[in-house]
Homo-oligomer: A and B are copies of this chain.
């Protein structure tokens, strides 16, 4: 005993020795009143200095695990190591249908597995090689110097004030009228959407949105028990005709749109369609959730106003966004900008569920943006992503016999094949050749999209993009030939 103590590097040895002994005591290997070796003996047995042993014994004493007897040494204190009869619950029976929905729709569990060395088009996470870690460090140290203690203690459910103010300004510059509006900070976009959904009255139990749409949103709609009605995407945004018809035929509790940079199609809704959507909804008593997804990642063309800006002082748009896909997804920071009364109510829901969003993350993001690192990074990232985007687009045009190819910027393209061509079959064949992508059906509200797939290119090199798309194209051509 004791001579099997093997401390790891880089962690204080006295803590490791304390933990080693504590484990022996709490697990019953050293019963009550057992005399511990003297500090000198232990020092030899464990191969550490006597001071280390002294420090460890001191810690154990403080925790009530050992007690000293003057002139005699240290003895093990009273620790319950008894166990109760072992319970064996059948957890499967304890869980509800929501858990099943969450598991069934969990792409990380049921998505394509890929192995190292494959060309993987299934991620739309940013390329971490672009992160300017040095400026992140700088921003962190700047903020900690200004108010380190504040950043580490409890914050407010509403969010970190300097960041909220910065975002107000950020959105106002985009043309948003802030009158009567307020901001709630959230753990990324997803929590923002979840909070709004959990607060809404369910009347018709129906949500209207673009088809296809963001899979995480679709999952949350289902988890909240909504029936989802999707309206087809045209090349410049949702079909206004079909939207109009759907609204005239059924009631909806909520609308959800991703006009800025639609996921998964990559379509940017035109100014005309934005106006048309907002004009249409001004006749209906239906809140609109606007997903600000990747508004910043356009590489060309003109400026588009968010729906929230078009709404003016109207209060029907709930704008939810984050910088995750552009900046650092490891920081979970998103925000809801909406009607002030609504935000005030949602603040209590947020507090009930997660107290508040990490102040550290918010403070770091604030400082990073305030100091101008965001713009610098965005410029660099856009230049890199733009090249990848153009490379991917050109390769798709060259190699893939598609019916429709969409994606106006961002980190992915969306491919629609001829009707009847199964993207999952294609995926299986591509997998064998070391290329994977995201089958598009998971984004569809109605079981459609079997002939579609999404190509995320953010983390691949241009050579990989070209090679991967060529392989997909070749595989597809073989598949089509075999059919005829």
**B309 contacts A372, C-beta separation under 8 Å:** no
Q: Is A313 an interface residue (CB 8 A)?
A: yes
* B contact residues around A314 at 8 Å (CB): 83-88
Interface residues in chain A, defined as those with a beta carbon under 8 Å from any beta carbon in chain B: 10-12, 15, 19, 22-23, 25-27, 59, 62-65, 77-89, 91-96, 98-99, 102-103, 105-106, 108-109, 125-126, 128-129, 131, 133, 136-137, 140-141, 144, 148-155, 157, 169, 172-175, 187-188, 190-191, 194, 198-202, 216, 219-220, 223, 271, 274-275, 278-279, 281-282, 285, 287, 298, 300-305, 309-316, 328-332, 339, 341-342, 345-349, 351-361, 364, 370-372, 375, 379
* B contact residues around A360 at 8 Å (CB): 328, 330-331, 358, 360-361, 364
Bound CA–CA A271/B23 (angstroms): 18
**B108 contacts A157, C-beta separation under 8 Å:** yes
Within the complex, the shortest CB–CB distance from A207 to chain B, in Å, comes to 14
* B contact residues around A98 at 8 Å (CB): 198-199, 349
**B358 contacts A358, C-beta separation under 8 Å:** yes
Within the complex, the shortest CB–CB distance from A326 to chain B, in Å, comes to 12
Known A148-B136, A200-B94; contact A153-B99, beta-carbon cutoff 8 A: no
Q: Of B12, B96, B351, B358, which contacts A361 at CB under 8 A?
A: B358
Bound CA–CA A150/B78 (angstroms): 44
Q: Of B281, B348, B357, which contacts A102 at CB under 8 A?
A: B348
Within the complex, the shortest CB–CB distance from A168 to chain B, in Å, comes to 12
Bound CA–CA A98/B372 (angstroms): 41
**A102 contacts B351, C-beta separation under 8 Å:** yes
Bound CA–CA A82/B312 (angstroms): 9
**B95 contacts A169, C-beta separation under 8 Å:** no
